[in-house]
Amino acid sequence: MSSTGEISSSTFSDKYRSYMSEDEVKNIEWRHGEPPIFDHVNELFEKERTKIWPEGSLEETVQNAIKTWEMELSHKTQIQDFKTINPEKFKLFVNGREGLSGQETLEMGSYNALLKTSLPEGFQYYKADEETYESSHDVFRTTFPRGFAWEVVSVYSGPPVIAFKFRHWGYMEGPFKGHAPTGEKVEFYGLAVMKVLVFPYTLSRRYQSIYRFTS
């Protein structure tokens, strides 16, 4: 769910996300007409991350894999263009809810898919059922203009079933649903399990399922 705060550019490639070279972004139907870049959220990530993983380590591989999946989910419009998942087999499970297919997740959008909750309405500060794909991204871009950074904190098991802990954070520097910006940090931790079909990450179509848990 990380990467609001992107701006469009004709410059290609990203050091934390794969499949973004000049050749790889061709013939893709991008949601905003061209591939995104992530300067703002990358800067926040580099400034405030708590871990710097060795290049090529499992931790770095998982971290970049999820960032790449989120990029595809937020910026591509056709599931057949996704290179991080097997579109026919992928399922996303969040906090024990029924799994969403790749197409269902794409149609809902990352924020609505990940933030949908069964809490009583009075505790739902973000109501996924009332948001569209477009409105959900507008909300987060407005509220977190520098983006919502994401990092892997720990990896507990290796492939094919990878369990890991993550941290997600940003600063409320814009308004949210009529509430004035406070500048405060918004931060949470969660656990996830990712089942992969092939490894290492240089091979495509490898996520079969992701289970994500936050409190």
Report the range of poorest mean pLDDT among 19-23, 77-81, 100-104, 130-134. Answer: 19-23
What is the spatial distance between Cα 89 and Cα 112, in angstroms, rounded to a whole number?
Answer: 21
Q: What pLDDT score does 209 carry?
A: 66
Q: What pLDDT score does 204 carry?
A: 42
At 12, list the tokens: 């290609």
pLDDT above 50 (res 202): no
Looking at the chain, the number of H-run helices and the number of E-run strands are 5, 8
At 49, list the tokens: 């991350």
Residue-wise pLDDT for 177-197, tens only, equals: 999 999 999 999 999 999 987
Q: Is the peptide bond before 36 cis (omega within 30 degrees of 0)?
A: no
Cβ proximity of 156 and 163 under 8 Å:
yes
What b/e readout covers 184-196, taking b as 16+ CB neighbours within 10 angstroms?
A: eeeeeebbbbbbb
What b/e readout covers 17-41, taking b as 16+ CB neighbours within 10 angstroms?
A: bbbbeeeebeebeeeeeebbbbbbb
Longest dimension (CA), the chain: 48
pLDDT above 70 (res 212): no
Average pLDDT, integer, range 157-161: 88
Please tell me which residue, 120 or 6, carries the higher pLDDT value.
120
Q: What pLDDT score does 132 carry?
A: 94
Q: Which of 1-15, 35-49, 82-96 reaches the highest mean pLDDT?
A: 35-49
E strand map for 1-158:
7-8, 36-37, 91-94, 100-101, 149-155
What is the spatial distance between Cα 148 and Cα 189, in angstroms, rounded to a whole number?
Answer: 13
End-to-end alpha-carbon separation of the chain, Å?
16
Residue-wise pLDDT for 73-115, tens only, equals: 999 999 999 999 988 889 999 988 899 999 999 999 999 999 9
Nearby residues of 79 by Cβ (< 8 Å), 6 or more positions away: 87, 102, 103, 106
Q: What pLDDT score does 207 carry?
A: 56
The pTM (predicted TM-score) of the whole model is 0.87
What is the spatial distance between Cα 197 and Cα 85, in angstroms, rounded to a whole number?
Answer: 9
